[in-house]
Amino acid sequence: MPVSATTTKTTAFGILGAISFAHLLNDTMQSLMIAIYPLFKTAFQLNFAQIGLITLAFQFTASLLQPLVGLYTDRHPLPFSLAAGMGCTFLGLITLSFASSFPMLLVAAAMVGTGSAVFHPEASRVARMASGGQHGLAQSIFQVGGNTGAALGPLLAAAIVLPHGQRSIALFSLIALLAMVVLTGVGRWYRQQQQRPHPAAATAAAPLPQRQIVQTVLVLLGLMFSKFFYFASISSYLLFYLMTHYGITTQTAQYHLFYFFFAVAAGTLLGGPIGDRIGRRQVIWASILGVAPFTLALPYVSLEMSAALTIIIGFLLASAFPAIVVYAQELIPGRVGMISGLFFGFAFGLAGIGAAILGQVADHWGIETVYHLCSFLPLLGIIAVWLPDLRRTSRA
């Protein structure tokens, strides 16, 4: 039986570190935009629905373009598209810092989303190329960079943007320039891999009938709906919920958002390797359904216990995503870019739609209602029972 070229090489940890660092820079800029919502809400007199629309503008461009980028680059690899996409993020940040109206905020958010649409499917492909066969580990290293960046965003917002105002956002365009330099180097390695002859790889055939593959993809998308709709309630509205429910300041609430994103980074780092060892189906099952008791308790606890539950929820929810992405890549072999783009794009789209819908709920029934309703979402994790065990199928 032929051996895939990927499995004949050692893991390229230098490239994984570079792509993870670029992911950190990319998602620092993304979470920074979310963390400064209170500034925009005050400066532009926005309601919660308009806050949700800013998130939707960012997530909508990312979710629509990512699968298309991945589908195209599966057939026509573009090693330097990573740096080019980061250039779009650079322009988005400059626009965001000088925006004088709500429509300009939407345009800036859409530009940052376009940069992410190019970055994620291609960066995920590079992570798999550099994995040396340890696909879950590589995906976790790649994703933990993004989640670490997401944790840093609120801290940078509290330290720099909130005290110094909207114009200080322009400073973060320097992060985009640094990311472009790193990604140019990654692009050179990517191009070398494309030019280098590899041993003949096996033509990977789908291990399941077409109908079961479609059913399994639908189950995965349902699980992601549960995960990312709930995730939107935390990432977009936790600040407002804590300030309303507990009467704390914006700066104190920022630290709670940092705790959540830090836990997300830890969960992401461990989710992939655990999936490599015990199976991705088991990780998906435990991380989504297993978080339900904690989300159900969250609206009824003290501020201190809320911080503890937020950490647990972030850790468990995050451990699912590396497992879901690699599981889907193994379910449909040979379509790394398309699958990565589809699932990253679906994640962005769900987060954007969720933010917009939950913003409407918060405007009409209060921000606390959002957390009571969303606490039931992880119960949808029960549908993971319909995920086939791909390891057992492959052995058979």
Q: Which residues of 169-186 are buried (b: 16+ CB within 10 A; e: fewer)?
A: beebbebbeebbebbeeb
Least reliable range by pLDDT among 79-83, 204-208, 311-315: 204-208
Q: What is the DSSP string of 140-167?
A: HHHHHHHHHHHHHHHHHIIIIIHHH-GG
The domain spans of the chain are 10-196+204-395
Rounded to the nearest 10 degrees, the angle between the axes of helix 303-318 and helix 250-278 is 30
- The whole-number average pLDDT for the span 204-210 is 64
Least reliable range by pLDDT among 14-28, 49-63, 288-302, 345-359: 345-359
**In one letter, which amino acid is 304?**
E
pLDDT in tens, 17-40: 999 999 999 988 877 877 778 888
CA angle (81, 14, 78) in 5-degree steps: 15
CA–CA distance, 58 with 96 (Å, rounded to integer): 12
pLDDT in tens, 181-195: 999 999 999 888 876
Nearest to 119 by CA among 360, 378, 348: 348
CATH says 10-196+204-395 is which class? mainly alpha
Residue 3 has pLDDT above 60, yes or no: no
Q: What is the pTM (predicted TM-score) of this model?
A: 0.69
Residue 316 has pLDDT above 70, yes or no: yes
CA–CA distance, 225 with 214 (Å, rounded to integer): 16
Q: What is the DSSP string of 245-274?
A: HH---HHHHHHHHHHHHHHHHHHHHHHHHH
Q: Residue 318 in contact with residue 268, Cβ under 8 Å?
A: yes
Nearest to 69 by CA among 340, 304, 259: 340
